[in-house]
Amino acid sequence: QCYFFTIEFGLCKQEGQLRAYGAGLLSSIGELKHALSDKANVKTFDPKTTCLQECHITTFQEAYFVSESFEEAKEKMRDFAKSINRPFSVYFNPYTQSIEILKDTRSIENVVQDLRSDLNTVCDALSKIN
C-alpha cells in the first residue's frame, strides 16, 4: 500500500500548493482532478497508517496521502523501512539501480569495496582541485 499511495498516487506540497507526483495520478486526468478537488479525502502521509488503506484499481481512491514535500515522503519511507523487523538489511545499488540484500559478510564487503572506490575517486578529485 505504501508503494501504491506514493509512487502511484502520491501528493506533496510545493510552495504551499498541492502537487501530484504519483504516476497513477499523472496518467489519469480524471483522477488527478478528483485528487486535487475539495471532494477528495486527503490525509497526512504516515506510512504506518497509509499501509492500512485499501487500494482501488477501478474507481477513484477513497483517500490520498500528502507530504509537506517529496523529500519528506522519502524520509518517512526510509524511517518506516528501518522500523521493519527483518534479519537482513538492504542497499540501493546506484550502478545497477537495484536493491541488494545484505545478509552475510560477503555482501557487506562488496558494498564497502564499492564505497571505498567511490571515496578514492572523490579524494583524487579533491586533491587535484587543491
Binding-site annotation, residues for Fe cation: 8
> Residue 90: how many CA atoms within 13 Å on its side-chain side?
13
For cell 582541485, name the residue: 129
| Long-range own/partner contacts, residues 13-22 (CB < 8 A, 24 or more apart) | 13/66, 13/67, 13/68, 13/69, 14/69, 18/42, 18/66, 21/70
Binding site: which residues?
8
